[in-house]
Amino acid sequence: MSCSVSSQQVSRLPGTIALIGSGETAHAGRQAFAALFAQLQPPVRVAIVETPAGFQPNAALVARRLARFLYEHLPEFAPEVRFVPARQRGSIYDPDSPLVAEPLEWADCAVAGPGSPTYMVRHLAGTLTWRLLVERWSSGLRLAFASAAALAISRFTLPVYEIFKAGADLHWVQGLDLLGPLGYSLAIVPHWNNREGGDELDTSRCFMGQERFAALRRLLPSGTVILGIDEHTVCVLDFADRSGRVLGSGAVTLLTTEREFVFDRGERFPLDLLASPTVR
């Protein structure tokens, strides 16, 4: 696999990550992408990973909608977009195909968004696409994960569709664990303050509701940190200054074994709060 690599891709630190609770094509998304692109020279190269929605017949449309948002709402960065159609193992869009994964070699930033978190885990884990993304991130590639993709990169991933729609027993599945090698044992939960159920159904905690989520929390191994991200809210993880920053309209909640922390928009927190107690 060969492709030109821009000088701004070279770094000795992992790239900044933006975790988006929802609203990746709204104001929160603009704030997230602006934060990621701020230190890059235009044109900014963006690779959109299609895996989370790969099971949907309109997967390409979902990715192109995000591309259109970048073109229209972040013109100052002159974004150039390519697609990583890593939709399904064993298909013409196989995540193990070098042609499918190749835009990740070219990109300054990679983005993945809504869909199914467990589908993303099943079809990316151990593949060329995932290995290349992790390799590039470890040397500076910036990443944005919204909704399902944010769930999928956790160590423990919440199977939202299976529980909320199909009535599966409460459980977690092994996620892609992007941050595990850095000492973080995370369960990332977007849609933390969701209100779609109105007064009749508690859909907070990513549609689980507080009662069910309390039971789910008890199923996690000791030392797991829950990172809850409100709707239309962004948590930016900056490994250069080892801090997290909250953007958007809501708050970020950290639940550790011993304590709960809530950080409102505009606030920062040390990344050490995300670390498993065994490595602090």
Which distant-in-sequence residues (6+ apart) come within 8 Å of 217 by Cβ? 226, 255
Three-state SS across the chain?
Answer: CCCCCCHHHCCCCCCCEEEECCCCCCHHHHHHHHHHHCCCCCCCEEEEECHHHCCCCCHHHHHHHHHHHHHHHCHHHCCEEEEECCCCCCCCCCCCCHHHHCHHHHCCEEEECCCCHHHHHHHHCCCHHHHHHHHHHHCCCEEEEECHHHHHCCCEECCHHHHHHCCCCCCCEECCCCCHHHCECEEEECCCCCCCCCCCCCCCCCCCCHHHHHHHHHHCCCCCEEEEECCCEEEEEECCCCEEEEEECCEEEEECCCCEEEEECCCEEEHHHHECCCCC
Encoding tokens for residue 59?
């997967």
Summary mean pLDDT of the chain: 95
Q: With respect to residue 280, please indicate whether it lies within any of the assigned structural domains.
A: no
Q: With respect to residue 65, please indicate whether it lies within any of the assigned structural domains.
A: yes
Q: Are 171 and 219 in contact (CB under 8 A)?
A: yes
Instruction: Please report, in tens digits, the pLDDT of each residue of the chain (280 residues total).
Output: 333 334 344 447 999 999 999 999 999 999 999 999 999 999 999 999 999 999 999 999 999 999 999 999 999 999 999 999 999 999 999 999 999 999 999 999 999 999 999 999 999 999 999 999 999 999 999 999 999 999 999 999 999 999 999 999 999 999 999 999 999 999 999 999 999 999 999 999 999 999 999 999 999 999 999 999 999 999 999 999 999 999 999 999 999 988 999 999 999 999 999 996 654 4
CATH number at residue 198: 3.40.50.880
Q: With respect to residue 9, please indicate whether it lies within any of the assigned structural domains.
A: no
Alpha-carbon torsion (267, 271, 274, 277), positive or negative: negative
CA gap 184, 237 in Å, rounded: 12
Bridge partners of 122, per DSSP, are none
Q: Would strands 225-229 and 17-20 be described as parallel, antiparallel, or unpaired?
A: unpaired
Q: With respect to residue 2, please indicate whether it lies within any of the assigned structural domains.
A: no
Encoding tokens for residue 192?
């933390």
Q: With respect to residue 30, please indicate whether it lies within any of the assigned structural domains.
A: yes
Q: With respect to residue 264, please indicate whether it lies within any of the assigned structural domains.
A: yes
Q: Please give the pLDDT value at position 84.
A: 99
Contacts 24+ apart (CB under 8 A), 13-16: 13/140, 13/239, 13/240, 14/137, 14/138, 14/140, 14/182, 14/239, 15/109, 15/136, 15/137, 15/139, 15/140, 15/141, 15/142, 15/143, 15/239, 16/142, 16/143, 16/236, 16/237, 16/238, 16/239, 16/240
- Cα angle for residues 180, 148, 120 (degrees, 5° grid): 70
CA gap 241, 222 in Å, rounded: 27
- The pLDDT tens digits for 135-192 are 999 999 999 999 999 999 999 999 999 999 999 999 999 999 999 999 999 999 999 9
Q: Please give the pLDDT value at position 277.
A: 65
Structural domain harbouring 127: 14-274
Torsion of CA 154, 9, 246, 75, to 10 degrees: -120
Number of separate domains in the chain: 1
Q: Which amino acid is at 111?
A: V
Q: Please give the pLDDT value at position 9.
A: 42
Q: With respect to residue 6, please indicate whether it lies within any of the assigned structural domains.
A: no
Confidence (pTM) = 0.94
Which candidate, 137, 77, 85, places its Cα nearest to that of 110? 137
- The pLDDT tens digits for 260-271 are 999 999 999 999
Q: With respect to residue 114, please indicate whether it lies within any of the assigned structural domains.
A: yes
Q: Are 67 and 81 in contact (CB under 8 A)?
A: yes
Q: Please give the pLDDT value at position 12.
A: 76
